[in-house]
Protein backbone atom coordinates (compact mmCIF):
# COMPACT_ATOMS: atom_id res chain seq x y z
CA UNK A 1 0.00 0.00 0.00
CA UNK A 2 1.33 3.40 -0.97
CA UNK A 3 0.49 6.25 1.41
CA UNK A 4 -0.15 9.74 0.05
CA UNK A 5 -1.52 12.95 1.49
CA UNK A 6 -5.08 13.76 0.44
CA UNK A 7 -4.96 17.22 2.05
CA UNK A 8 -3.56 19.35 4.85
CA UNK A 9 -5.46 22.31 6.29
CA UNK A 10 -4.78 24.65 9.20
CA UNK A 11 -7.12 26.94 11.11
CA UNK A 12 -6.40 29.41 13.87
CA UNK A 13 -9.09 28.71 16.45
CA UNK A 14 -9.68 31.55 18.90
CA UNK A 15 -10.02 29.16 21.82
CA UNK A 16 -7.32 27.95 24.27
CA UNK A 17 -5.64 24.62 23.38
CA UNK A 18 -7.07 22.70 26.36
CA UNK A 19 -10.61 23.65 25.36
CA UNK A 20 -9.93 22.81 21.69
CA UNK A 21 -8.68 19.38 22.78
CA UNK A 22 -11.77 18.78 24.92
CA UNK A 23 -14.10 19.75 22.05
CA UNK A 24 -12.10 17.81 19.46
CA UNK A 25 -12.30 14.62 21.51
CA UNK A 26 -15.96 15.03 22.50
CA UNK A 27 -17.10 12.24 20.17
CA UNK A 28 -20.81 12.71 20.89
CA UNK A 29 -20.58 16.36 19.73
CA UNK A 30 -18.62 15.53 16.54
CA UNK A 31 -21.71 15.46 14.27
CA UNK A 32 -22.07 19.20 14.92
CA UNK A 33 -18.91 19.84 12.88
CA UNK A 34 -17.94 16.67 10.97
CA UNK A 35 -19.47 16.64 7.48
CA UNK A 36 -21.71 13.66 6.78
CA UNK A 37 -21.50 12.25 10.32
CA UNK A 38 -24.92 11.77 11.86
CA UNK A 39 -23.91 10.00 15.07
CA UNK A 40 -20.64 9.16 16.84
CA UNK A 41 -19.69 7.49 20.10
CA UNK A 42 -16.60 5.95 21.63
CA UNK A 43 -16.25 2.71 23.50
CA UNK A 44 -14.39 4.36 26.39
CA UNK A 45 -12.20 7.36 27.24
CA UNK A 46 -9.83 8.76 24.62
CA UNK A 47 -6.80 6.48 24.61
CA UNK A 48 -4.54 4.69 22.15
CA UNK A 49 -6.52 1.85 20.56
CA UNK A 50 -9.92 3.38 21.33
CA UNK A 51 -12.64 2.34 18.87
CA UNK A 52 -14.94 5.11 17.69
CA UNK A 53 -18.21 4.07 16.05
CA UNK A 54 -20.04 6.46 13.76
CA UNK A 55 -22.85 6.67 11.23
CA UNK A 56 -21.80 8.52 8.09
CA UNK A 57 -23.54 8.94 4.76
CA UNK A 58 -25.94 6.10 5.46
CA UNK A 59 -23.33 3.60 6.70
CA UNK A 60 -22.21 2.36 10.11
CA UNK A 61 -18.44 2.62 10.38
CA UNK A 62 -15.68 2.51 12.95
CA UNK A 63 -12.28 4.07 13.41
CA UNK A 64 -9.42 3.58 15.83
CA UNK A 65 -7.16 6.00 17.66
CA UNK A 66 -3.77 4.91 16.29
CA UNK A 67 -1.54 7.72 17.59
CA UNK A 68 -2.08 9.89 20.63
CA UNK A 69 -0.27 12.70 22.44
CA UNK A 70 -3.01 13.93 24.82
CA UNK A 71 -3.63 17.64 24.40
CA UNK A 72 -1.27 17.84 21.40
CA UNK A 73 -2.22 15.39 18.63
CA UNK A 74 -4.45 12.49 17.73
CA UNK A 75 -4.61 10.24 14.69
CA UNK A 76 -7.84 8.47 13.85
CA UNK A 77 -7.62 5.62 11.34
CA UNK A 78 -10.42 3.97 9.42
CA UNK A 79 -10.39 1.32 6.72
CA UNK A 80 -12.94 0.45 4.10
CA UNK A 81 -11.95 -2.49 1.95
CA UNK A 82 -8.67 -1.67 0.22
CA UNK A 83 -8.55 1.96 1.42
CA UNK A 84 -7.13 3.17 4.75
CA UNK A 85 -7.44 6.79 5.87
CA UNK A 86 -5.44 8.40 8.68
CA UNK A 87 -6.71 11.76 9.98
CA UNK A 88 -4.05 13.47 12.12
CA UNK A 89 -5.07 16.50 14.17
CA UNK A 90 -2.23 18.58 15.65
CA UNK A 91 -2.78 21.40 18.16
CA UNK A 92 -0.19 24.15 18.63
CA UNK A 93 -0.58 27.03 21.09
CA UNK A 94 -0.62 30.43 19.40
CA UNK A 95 -0.74 33.05 22.14
CA UNK A 96 -3.93 32.15 24.00
CA UNK A 97 -5.42 30.56 20.89
CA UNK A 98 -4.83 27.30 19.03
CA UNK A 99 -3.39 26.59 15.61
CA UNK A 100 -5.10 23.35 14.56
CA UNK A 101 -3.83 21.34 11.59
CA UNK A 102 -5.51 18.34 9.99
CA UNK A 103 -3.62 16.08 7.59
CA UNK A 104 -5.44 13.23 5.86
CA UNK A 105 -3.22 10.43 4.59
CA UNK A 106 -4.67 7.75 2.33
CA UNK A 107 -3.29 4.30 1.59
CA UNK A 108 -4.73 2.08 -1.13
CA UNK A 109 -4.00 -1.52 -2.06
CA UNK A 110 -1.97 -2.30 -5.17
CA UNK A 111 -5.23 -3.31 -6.87
CA UNK A 112 -6.57 0.25 -6.45
CA UNK A 113 -3.33 2.12 -7.20
CA UNK A 114 -4.72 3.37 -10.51
CA UNK A 115 -7.60 5.04 -8.63
CA UNK A 116 -5.47 6.45 -5.78
CA UNK A 117 -5.54 10.02 -7.08
CA UNK A 118 -9.30 9.98 -7.54
CA UNK A 119 -9.79 8.47 -4.07
CA UNK A 120 -7.62 11.20 -2.48
CA UNK A 121 -9.54 13.90 -4.38
CA UNK A 122 -12.87 12.47 -3.20
CA UNK A 123 -11.68 12.41 0.42
CA UNK A 124 -10.34 15.97 0.13
CA UNK A 125 -13.62 17.22 -1.37
CA UNK A 126 -15.59 15.60 1.46
CA UNK A 127 -13.38 16.62 4.40
CA UNK A 128 -11.19 19.64 3.59
CA UNK A 129 -13.81 21.92 5.17
CA UNK A 130 -13.83 19.94 8.40
CA UNK A 131 -11.54 22.32 10.33
CA UNK A 132 -13.39 25.45 9.19
CA UNK A 133 -16.55 23.80 10.51
CA UNK A 134 -14.78 22.82 13.75
CA UNK A 135 -13.53 26.41 14.19
CA UNK A 136 -17.10 27.77 13.92
CA UNK A 137 -18.31 25.10 16.37
CA UNK A 138 -15.52 25.64 18.90
CA UNK A 139 -15.75 29.41 18.91
CA UNK A 140 -19.49 29.27 19.65
CA UNK A 141 -19.43 26.36 22.12
CA UNK A 142 -20.48 27.25 25.68
pLDDT tens profile 90-130: 999 999 999 999 999 988 766 667 677 677 787 888 888 99
**Vertex 120, ends 107 and 20: CA angle to 5°?**
90
Q: Please give the average per-residue pLDDT across 130-137, as a whole number.
A: 96
What is the tens place of the pLDDT at every residue in 15-64?
A: 999 999 999 999 999 999 998 899 999 989 999 999 999 998 788 999 99
- Is the pLDDT at 86 greater than 90? The verdict is yes
CA distance linking residue 16 with residue 110, whole number of Å: 43
DSSP H helices in the chain = 17-24, 116-127, 130-140
Number of H helices, E strands in the chain: 3, 7
Amino acid sequence: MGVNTAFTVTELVYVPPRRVWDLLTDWVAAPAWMPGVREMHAEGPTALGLTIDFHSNGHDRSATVTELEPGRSITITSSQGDVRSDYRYVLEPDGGDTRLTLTAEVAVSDALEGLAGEIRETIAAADEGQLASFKRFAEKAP
